[in-house]
């Protein structure tokens, strides 16, 4: 009987990180979606940086930032009582950092694709910015947000490099599925690794099918 602990750890990390990423993306996208200046472009470049950086490099940067000897690491450990390095908290933070750009891209693009005339009409009718956001922008961007959630969840559950650098491989604590596969293969236990490989492949197919289904409904509405 296989040990399902890596699966539950991965699921827990992915769910927590996806919730955090979704909330942060909606908030930041709301602040930046109308921006066109150099400051907005600079911020978006920093947000998208984890996409182009190798995961191990990202993990090394996070390890330096959240080191117990650093200010941020001490704040998490002494004030929030959440040690980061070699803990599940570290795995969640690593997943948040690497999946956030995907969620942000989908969310901000969804906001920007809304017809500005519609929003301006609502403003001229006296609607507040909060009402416009919650009654128009969010509902009209639901497919983009859903796509971002699915992509972020998939990225989080498949994260390897940054998680290994920041959270390490600690059995029954931080051994997520990608780490478990790597160390099983390293121990020449390929037959056990195949189970988790198939789980991740099946999940990836489910994500793709979900996105295709959402897009099919969109095209049907257009027709």
C-alpha span between 88 and 79 (Å, rounded): 18
Q: What is the pLDDT of residue 223?
A: 46
What pLDDT was estimated at residue 1?
63
Span 6-58, pLDDT tens digits: 999 999 999 999 999 999 999 999 999 988 888 989 999 999 999 999 988 99
Q: How many domains is the chain built from? A: 1
Domain assignment of residue 131, given as a range: 5-222
The rounded distance, in Å, linking the Cα atoms of 110 and 148 is 10
Rg (CA), the chain: 20
- For the chain, how many residues are written? 223
In this structure, what are the phi and psi dihedrals at residue 37, rounded to the nearest 5 degrees?
A: -80, 180
**Residues of the chain scoring pLDDT < 70:** 1, 214-223
Question: What's the pLDDT at 213?
Answer: 74
Give this prediction's pTM: 0.89
User: Which pair of tokens denotes residue 154?
Assistant: 């998939």
Residue 57 CB neighbours (<10 A): 14
Q: What's the CATH code of the domain at 214? A: 1.10.3720.10
């Amino acid at each position: 009987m296989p040990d399902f602990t890596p699966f539950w750890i991965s699921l827990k990390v992915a769910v927590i990180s996806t919730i955090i990423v979704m909330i942060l993306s909606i908030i930041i996208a709301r602040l930046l979606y109308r921006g066109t200046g150099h400051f907005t472009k600079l911020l978006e470049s920093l947000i998208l940086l984890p996409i182009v950086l190798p995961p191990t490099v990202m993990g090394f940067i996070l390890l330096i930032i959240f080191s117990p000897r650093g200010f941020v690491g001490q704040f998490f450990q002494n004030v929030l009582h959440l040690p980061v390095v070699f803990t599940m908290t570290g795995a969640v933070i690593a997943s948040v950092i690497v999946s956030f750009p995907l969620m942000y891209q989908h969310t901000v693009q969804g906001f920007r694709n809304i017809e500005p005339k519609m929003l301006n009409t609502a403003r001229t009718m006296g609607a507040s910015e909060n009402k416009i956001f919650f009654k128009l922008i969010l509902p009209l961007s639901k497919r983009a947000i859903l796509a971002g959630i699915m992509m972020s969840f998939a990225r989080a559950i498949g994260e390897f490099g940054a998680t290994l650098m920041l959270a390490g491989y600690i059995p029954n604590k931080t051994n997520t599925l990608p780490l478990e596969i790597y160390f099983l293969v390293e121990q020449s236990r390929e037959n056990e690794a195949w189970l988790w490989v198939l789980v991740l492949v099946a999940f990836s197919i489910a994500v793709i099918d979900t996105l295709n289904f959402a897009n099919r409904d969109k095209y049907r509405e257009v027709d």
